[in-house]
């Protein structure tokens, strides 16, 4: 565990620099909050002009404090922050909670950078500036100007919005969703999401890490630290609307949007993505109280047909379509319901179900090995008492002794149901006031399990490549003052990285044409290369399916004659010879070098799938072959690769291999390649591989 961050987030003592005796001032509020939250460490107000605040001795300078100081909460105006930072450094403070604003958020990036530089030079870390502070129930510590500690719980929240953190602090009591810590991360000048995720992963009081993110600074570090955690992470990313991509130079660039890449990155980080604020709380509740769901068998118990049907719909939406339980399970369940009940799935105990039936069927079902996850629904009836039902359910679950299988609950009813659900949550079982939410929560627990399985897939970083050959081409292009590479240059790079490109070369004599064609193998395509002839076919400048030497010689002559006939004074650079790939299923692979996440690979099917449907998927590079396979399944047109209209299945294995090799290439050349397309890549029948027909690389500006 990072000792410095522990000093910042679980300090044994805190100095409040800029502490004030005037109620209402932030420097006063922070001292008051620390005292009122029952903080047991040293509280040292610092202010050159005051003597006592709330009965505490005030020091003129942090240097005057006789005891060691772990953290300093700084509330002085921005212009004084540098000076007090130096004093904190001298004092040996571990971390600064810079509540003061007036830094990068108002444009003063320099001051912020200076603050971090000085703090780091003393070995201190900086939280903020422009933060609300940090709160921890397990430390009875409210080191912030948020009014009180949140409802106690086992999740911890890191929020990039201070206003939202304060609002959530209050919400915890009305929504009954508990947190151990609330950490305001502000401008993230130093301590960022990656730091807090790594630290919370080691924090004994945190079971689930909840993040409100507006933007990430170092995307790759965030993915790495998140993927390393053994605790669930749930993220609400604000600002998912697409940012403008009009200026993109490549096809892939025009398809990449912040949302799609963030979404891919969160998946690779193993993090659950919440869709809105309520969903953030609902996911947090499930992930902080229940284990992941390790298989696909969901069983639903209910006392009402209506909510059962609604749950069936929700299960399908959550990716957990309901199956009937085995006969033996149904037989046993039938013992706990009237004859007109149903032991299928959902199991309908009917409106006659009381505590006992609920208890017996829950205990039996939860313990049964077929069941991977249990959802219990209850519609409030006049004959039953919600709190008694809740207690029966809790006792049934507890008596099985099972701790590695999840259960979620929904009570549909009024105040008595709400109270019963509150009791369930306090006793470790997530309960929601809508059957849809209980099923969705189970889907989240399943998704979490699925994401964890992907984390340990090995990534091959030892592809045999000829990097020097690639760099030679790149340097030649740069020497030429260009960043756009030609098809032939781009293919050279691809070839150096072992991608199966359709070979292409420009020749300037008939002999060279024959030699080149022979080296490629027949059939070949030949095309005029002239800046003056744009519509090559119209000019008779294209010949396809050339089968032998005679054909090459004839085509060479004819194309030149046609070109001259078309435009007598055309400047002719030569004739392009290209290996002729047999037709296959069109796909596209490409890359962007994302501002936040760096080299990122894209996959899609060609033609209308990309052009009309924008049916593409992204991953931050490099990727494992397993991940490449998942990308192939991650588009709506995925069935195309299984073969449609009676076609044989396509060579997915070869395609996945090319995809992961491509991802390796853009990672290895991340300093050089800004955007790229391999479009189309033709995919043949299983065992027959793929061919990259066209290539385009745009280099970074240097």
Q: Name the residues that contact its own copies, by CB under 8 A.
A: 29, 106, 145, 147, 159-161, 163-164, 166-175, 212, 214, 236, 238-241, 275-278, 303-307, 309-310, 312-314, 316, 321, 340, 351, 379-382, 412-418, 433-437, 608, 611-613, 636-637, 639-640, 644-645
Name the minimum Å distance from CB 80 to its own copies: 21
**Least distance from its own copies to the Cβ atom of residue 312, Å:** 6
Choose between 199 and 212: whose C-beta lies nearer to its own copies. Answer: 212
Crossing angle for the helix pair 415-426 and 386-400, nearest 10 degrees? 20
Please, what is the minimum distance in Å from the beta carbon of residue 331 to its own copies?
Answer: 22
Q: In whole angstroms, what is the distance from residue 486 CA to residue 134 CA?
A: 54
- Contact criterion met (CB below 8 Å) for 9 and 57: no
CB of 468 to its own copies, least distance (A): 39
- If the CB atoms of residues 161 and 228 are measured against its own copies, the closer one turns out to be 161
Q: In this structure, what token pair is assigned to residue 481?
A: 């003052």
Contact 643, 649 (CB under 8 A): yes
Cβ closest to its own copies, residue 467 vs residue 636: 636
Beta carbon of residue 411, minimum distance to its own copies (angstroms, whole number): 9
Is the C-alpha dihedral spanning 428, 430, 433, 439 positive or negative? negative
168 in Cβ contact with 150 (< 8 Å): yes
Q: Which is nearer to its own copies, 170 or 249 (CB)?
A: 170
- 287-to-67, 284, 692 alpha-carbon distances in Å: 40, 5, 44
> What token pair was written down for 497?
């990285």
Tell the smallest beta-carbon distance from residue 351 to its own copies (Å).
Answer: 5
- Cα dist. 291→42, 102, 288 in Å? 38, 43, 8
Output the six-digit token pair for 269.
């980080």
Sheet bearing 71-74, strands edge to edge: 42-46, 13-17, 71-74, 95-98, 125-127
Q: Which is nearer to its own copies, 241 or 461 (CB)?
A: 241
At how many degrees (to 10) do helices 78-91 and 109-121 cross? 10
Rg (CA), the chain: 32
Closest CA to 392 of 414, 428, 424, 419: 424
- Specify the residue, 250 or 660, whose C-beta has the smaller distance to its own copies: 250
Q: How far is the CB of 683 from its own copies (least distance, A)?
A: 15
Report the residue number, 136 or 160, with the smaller CB distance to its own copies. Answer: 160
Measured from the Cβ of residue 208, the count of other Cβ atoms closer than 10 Å reads: 26
Q: Cβ of residue 648: shortest distance to its own copies, in angstroms?
A: 16
**What is the total residue count of the chain?**
702
Helical (H) or strand (E) element with 412: strand 407-412
Judged by beta carbon, residue 29 or residue 290, the one nearer its own copies is 29
CB of 499 to its own copies, least distance (A): 26
Q: Extract the tokens encoding 130.
A: 């422009």
Other C-beta atoms lying within 10 Å of the C-beta of residue 331:
11
Q: Whole-number minimum distance, CB 25 to its own copies, in Å?
A: 12
Closer residue to its own copies, CB minimum distance, 433 or 519: 433
Contacts of 213 (CB under 8 A, 6+ apart): 160, 193, 235, 236, 237, 238
Q: How far is the CB of 123 from its own copies (least distance, A)?
A: 32
Closest to its own copies by CB, 163 or 476: 163
Closest CB to its own copies among 277 and 570?
Answer: 277
Place of tokens 């933007």: 215
- Other beta carbons within 10 Å of 252: 28
């Amino acid at each position: 565990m990072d000792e410095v961050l522990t000093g910042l987030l679980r300090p044994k003592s805190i100095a409040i620099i800029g502490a004030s005796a005037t109620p209402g001032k932030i420097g006063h509020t922070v001292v008051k909050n620390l005292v009122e939250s029952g903080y047991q460490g040293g509280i040292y107000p610092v202010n050159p002009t005051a003597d006592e605040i709330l009965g505490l001795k005030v020091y003129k300078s942090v240097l005057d404090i006789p005891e060691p100081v772990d953290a300093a909460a700084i509330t002085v105006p921005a212009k004084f922050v540098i000076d007090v930072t130096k004093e904190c450094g001298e004092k040996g403070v571990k971390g600064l909670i810079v509540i003061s604003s007036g830094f990068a958020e108002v444009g003063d990036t320099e001051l912020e950078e200076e603050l971090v530089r000085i703090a780091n030079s003393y070995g201190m870390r900086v939280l903020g500036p422009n933060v609300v502070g940090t709160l921890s129930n397990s430390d009875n510590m409210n080191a912030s100007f948020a009014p009180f500690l949140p409802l106690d719980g086992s999740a911890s929240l890191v929020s990039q919005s201070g206003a939202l953190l304060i609002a959530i602090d209050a919400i915890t009591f009305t929504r009954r969703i508990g947190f151990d810590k609330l950490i305001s991360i502000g401008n993230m000048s130093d301590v960022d999401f990656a730091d807090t995720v790594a630290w919370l992963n080691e924090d004994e009081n945190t079971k689930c890490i909840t993040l409100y993110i507006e933007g990430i600074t170092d995307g790759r570090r965030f993915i790495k630290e998140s993927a390393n955690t053994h605790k669930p992470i749930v993220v609400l990313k604000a600002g998912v609307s697409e940012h403008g991509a009009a200026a993109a130079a490549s096809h892939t660039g025009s398809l990449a949007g912040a949302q799609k890449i963030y979404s891919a990155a969160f998946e690779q980080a193993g993090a659950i993505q919440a869709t809105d604020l309520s969903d953030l709380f609902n996911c947090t509740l499930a992930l902080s109280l229940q284990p992941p769901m390790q298989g696909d068998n969901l069983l639903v118990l209910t006392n009402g047909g209506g909510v059962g049907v609604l749950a069936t719909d929700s299960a399908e939406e959550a990716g957990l379509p309901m199956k009937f339980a085995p006969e033996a399970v149904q037989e046993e369940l039938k013992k706990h319901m009237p004859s007109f009940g149903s032991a299928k799935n959902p199991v309908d105990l009917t409106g006659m179900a009381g505590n006992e039936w609920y208890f017996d069927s829950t205990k039996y079902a939860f313990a049964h090995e077929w069941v991977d996850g249990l959802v219990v629904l209850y519609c409030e009836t006049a004959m039953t008492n919600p709190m008694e039902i809740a207690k029966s359910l809790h006792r049934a679950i507890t008596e099985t002794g099972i701790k590695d299988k999840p259960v979620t609950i929904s009570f549909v009813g009024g105040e008595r149901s709400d109270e019963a659900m509150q009791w369930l949550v306090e006793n470790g079982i997530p309960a929601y006031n809508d059957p849809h939410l209980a099923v969705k929560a189970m889907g989240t627990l399943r998704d979490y399990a699925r994401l964890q399985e992907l984390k340990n897939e090995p990534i091959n970083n030892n592809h045999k490549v000829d990097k020097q050959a690639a760099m030679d081409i790149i340097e030649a292009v740069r020497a030429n003052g260009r960043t756009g590479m030609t098809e032939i240059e781009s293919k050279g790079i691809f070839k150096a990285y072992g991608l199966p490109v359709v070979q292409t070369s420009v020749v300037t004599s008939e002999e060279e044409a024959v030699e080149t064609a022979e080296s490629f193998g027949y059939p070949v395509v030949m095309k005029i290369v002239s800046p003056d002839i744009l519509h090559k076919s119209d000019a008779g400048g294209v010949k396809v399916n050339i089968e032998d030497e005679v054909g090459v010689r004839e085509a060479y002559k004819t194309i030149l004659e046609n070109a001259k006939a078309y435009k007598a004074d055309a400047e002719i650079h030569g004739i392009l010879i290209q290996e002729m790939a047999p037709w296959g299923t069109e796909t596209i692979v490409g890359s962007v070098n994302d501002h936040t996440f760096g080299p990122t690979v894209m996959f899609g099917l060609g033609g209308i799938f990309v052009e009309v449907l924008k049916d593409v998927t992204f991953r931050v590079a490099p990727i494992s072959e397993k991940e490449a396979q998942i990308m192939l399944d991650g588009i709506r047109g995925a069935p195309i690769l299984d073969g449609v209209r009676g076609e044989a299945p396509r060579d997915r294995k070869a395609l996945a291999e090319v995809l992961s090799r491509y991802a390796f290439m853009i990672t290895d050349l991340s300093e050089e390649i800004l955007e790229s397309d391999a479009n189309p890549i033709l995919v043949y029948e299983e065992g027959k591989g793929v061919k990259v027909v066209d290539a385009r690389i745009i280099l970074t500006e240097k």
